[in-house]
Amino acid sequence: MQVNKEVCIGCGTCVGVCPVEAISLVDGKADINQETCIHCGTCAGVCPVNAIEE
Ligand code: SF4
C-alpha cells in the first residue's frame, strides 16, 4: 500500500486500524512500512481523504 502524501491530512486513523502496526506518522503524514504491510487494504478503507492506494 502507498500513501499519497500530498493528499494525506495526518489524521492518524489508518495508524490505529492497521492490524500489523505497519503505519506511523512521520512529519505529520502516514508512512507505511513496506516490509511489514500485508496489503489487507484496511487503511485504504478508513482514510477520509482516500490518500491510500495499492
Ligand atoms: Fe493520512 Fe488517510 Fe492515514 Fe489519515 S487515514 S493519516 S489522511 S493516510
Gap from CA of 40 to ligand 1 centroid (Å):
16
pLDDT at 19: 98
Ligand 1: which atom is nearest the Cα of residue 25? 6
pLDDT at 9: 98
pLDDT tens per residue across span 7-50: 999 999 999 999 999 999 999 999 999 999 999 999 999 999 99
Q: Tell whether ligand 1 has an atom less than 6 A from the beta carbon of residue 7.
A: no
Residue nearest to atom 5 of ligand 1 (CA): 47
Q: Kindly report the pTM of this predicted structure.
A: 0.93
Among left, alpha and beta (phi > 0; psi -120 to 50; other), residue 41 is: left
Four-residue CA torsion sign, 36, 42, 51, 12 = negative
pLDDT at 10: 98
